[in-house]
Homo-oligomer: A and B are copies of this chain.
Amino acid sequence: DGTVGANKNSIKIIGDHTDMYAQGYFAYDSKKSGGLTISHLRFGKKPIKSTYYITKANFVACHKPSYVNVYDMVEDLKPGGSFLLNCEWNEKELDEHLPAKMKRYIARNNINFYTINGVKLGKEIGLGGRINTILQSAFFTITGIIPKEKAIQYMKDAATKSYSRKGEKIVKMNHEAIDRGANEFVKVHVPEAWKDAVDNTTVKKVNCGDPALTEYVNNVLIPANRHQGDKLPVSAVLKMANGTVPSGSAAYEKRGIAIDVPEWNPANCIQCNTCSYVCPHAVIRPAVLNAEEVAKAPKSMKMKDMTLMPGLKFAITISTLDCTGCGSCATVCPGMRGNKALTMKPMETQLASQEGFDYGQKLSPKPEVAKKFRPTSVKGSQFHKPLLEFSGACAGCGETPYAKLATQLFGDRMYIANATGCSSIWGGSAPATPYTRNEKGYGPAWNNSLFEDNAEFGYGMALANDAIRGRLADYVKEIQAADDASDTLKTASKEYLDTAESSVANREPTDRLIAELQKAAKGSGKTAELAKKTLADKDYLAKKSIWIFGGDGWSYDIGFGGLDHVLASGENVNVLIFDTEVYSNTGGQASKATPMGSVAQFAATGKSTKKKDMPGMFMTYGYIYVAHVAMGADYNQTVKALTEAESYNGPSIIIAYAPCINQGIKGGMGISQLEEKKAVAAGYWKNFRYDPRLAAQGKNPLQLDSREPKASYRDFIMGEVRYNSLTRSFPQRAEELFSKAEKDAKQDYEHLAVLAGKKD
Which of B568, B569, B609, B623 is within 8 Å of A623, CB to CB? B609
Asked whether, in the complex, the Cβ of A620 is within 8 Å of the Cβ of B613, the reply is: yes
Kindly supply a per-residue 1/0 record for chain A positions 621-660, scoring 1 wherever the CB is within 8 Å of any chain B CB and 0 otherwise: 1110000000000000000000000000000000000000
Q: Which of A371-379, A490-498, A517-525, A556-564 contacts B (4 or more CB under 8 A)?
A: A556-564
Copies of this chain in its oligomeric complex: 2
In the complex the two chains form, what is the Cα distance from A434 to B557 in whole Å?
36
A175 sits at the interface (CB 8 A): no
Q: Most B CB atoms within 10 A — which of A559, A608, A610?
A: A610
Given A570-B608, A613-B620, A616-B620, A562 contacting B561 (CB threshold 8 A)? yes
In the complex the two chains form, what is the Cα distance from A760 to B755 in whole Å?
12
Which residues on the B side are within 8 Å of A569 (C-beta)?
609
A536 sits at the interface (CB 8 A): no
Minimum distance in angstroms from A605 CB to a CB of chain B: 14
A565 sits at the interface (CB 8 A): yes
Minimum distance in angstroms from A743 CB to a CB of chain B: 11
Chain A contact residues: over half helix, strand or loop, or mixed?
Answer: loop
Kindly supply a per-residue 1/0 record for chain A positions 143-170, scoring 1 wherever the CB is within 8 Å of any chain B CB and 0 otherwise: 0000000000000000000000000000
- A559, closest chain B residue (CB): B561
A617 sits at the interface (CB 8 A): yes
A612 sits at the interface (CB 8 A): yes
Minimum distance in angstroms from A400 CB to a CB of chain B: 27
A385 sits at the interface (CB 8 A): no
Kindly supply a per-residue 1/0 record for chain A positions 191-216, scoring 1 wherever the CB is within 8 Å of any chain B CB and 0 otherwise: 00000000000000000000000000
Which residues on the B side are within 8 Å of A612 (C-beta)?
564, 568, 620-621
Given A609-B623, A612-B621, A623-B609, A560 contacting B564 (CB threshold 8 A)? yes
A180 sits at the interface (CB 8 A): no
Kindly supply a per-residue 1/0 record for chain A positions 735-752, scoring 1 wherever the CB is within 8 Å of any chain B CB and 0 otherwise: 000000000100000000
A592 sits at the interface (CB 8 A): yes
Which residues on the B side are within 8 Å of A564 (C-beta)?
560-561, 592, 612
Which residues on the B side are within 8 Å of A760 (C-beta)?
760
Kindly supply a per-residue 1/0 record for chain A positions 551-582, scoring 1 wherever the CB is within 8 Å of any chain B CB and 0 otherwise: 00000011111101100111000000000000
- A754, closest chain B residue (CB): B754
In the complex the two chains form, what is the Cα distance from A570 to B569 in whole Å?
29
Which of B558, B568, B613 is within 8 Å of A592, CB to CB? B568
List A residues 399-440 near B (Cβ within 8 Å): none
In the complex the two chains form, what is the Cα distance from A95 to B621 in whole Å?
65
Q: Most B CB atoms within 10 A — which of A557, A561, A562, A760?
A: A561
In the complex the two chains form, what is the Cα distance from A612 to B561 in whole Å?
13
Which residues on the B side are within 8 Å of A561 (C-beta)?
557-562, 564
Kindly supply a per-residue 1/0 record for chain A positions 505-541, scoring 1 wherever the CB is within 8 Å of any chain B CB and 0 otherwise: 0000000000000000000000000000000000000
In the complex the two chains form, what is the Cα distance from A559 to B760 in whole Å?
37
What 3 pairs across the A-B complex have the smallest Cβ distances? A561-B561, A613-B620, A616-B620
- Beyond contacts A559-B561, A564-B592: 19 other A-B pairs, Cβ-Cβ < 8 A, are A557-B561, A557-B565, A560-B560, A560-B561, A561-B561, A561-B564, A564-B612, A568-B609, A570-B608, A570-B609, A609-B621, A610-B621, A610-B622, A612-B620, A613-B620, A616-B617, A616-B620, A617-B617, A617-B620
